[in-house]
């Protein structure tokens, strides 16, 4: 089965009743956890972005506490999984400030992580690449925010 374009989906949804659209949305949430998470964000958390950011930060904290440190391989794998989840939550928001805030928080957690990432070349490279990515994203923000976030980045680098 070939998926149709977004435009065609939008046209078809315009012809459906609100109840049919609601039923379609609920049916979508049954198939993938990400669909349900996105709908939860859109309905309950999109109006209060600060609360959403705080809840994601709490989840990042919990995940870092559960990182498997028995070997460098498992540590790397666990941290990459946390980053993947963080990026998923960033995709839900589509807000540049949220993206920079969450990535900075992730980098801060990585920097404070024990055993230190400085002894692991791959994790250090991941950290450095994230910092570069954050710096590129900061440029697109408002000037006041740029200054605040640049200060945070400089604290992470030092």
Map residue 57 onto helix, strand or coil: helix
pLDDT reported for residue 53: 95
Name the pLDDT band for 152 (thresholds 50, 70, 90): very high
The answer, yes or no, to whether residue 1 has pLDDT greater than 80, is: no
The mean pLDDT of the chain is: 91
Per-residue pLDDT tens for 108-134?
999 999 888 888 899 999 999 999 999
The answer, yes or no, to whether residue 102 has pLDDT greater than 90, is: yes
Q: How far apart, in Å, do the first and last CA atoms of the chain sit?
A: 53
Q: How far apart are CA 132 and CA 61, in angstroms?
A: 23
Any idea what DSSP says for residue 43?
Answer: I
């Amino acid at each position: 089965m070939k998926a149709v374009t977004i435009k065609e989906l939008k046209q078809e949804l315009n012809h459906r009743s609100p109840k049919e659209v609601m039923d379609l949305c609920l049916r979508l949430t049954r198939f993938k956890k990400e669909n349900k998470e996105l709908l939860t964000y859109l309905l309950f958390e999109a109006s209060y972005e600060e609360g959403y950011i705080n809840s994601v930060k709490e989840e990042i904290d919990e995940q870092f506490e559960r990182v498997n440190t028995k070997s460098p391989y498992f540590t790397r794998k666990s941290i990459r999984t946390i980053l993947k989840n963080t990026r998923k939550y960033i995709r839900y928001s589509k807000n540049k400030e949220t993206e920079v805030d969450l990535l900075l928080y992730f980098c801060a957690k990585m920097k404070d992580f024990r055993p230190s990432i400085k002894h692991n070349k791959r994790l250090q490279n991941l950290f450095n690449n994230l910092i570069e990515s954050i710096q590129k994203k900061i440029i697109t923000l408002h000037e006041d925010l740029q200054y605040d976030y640049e200060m945070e980045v400089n604290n992470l680098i030092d």
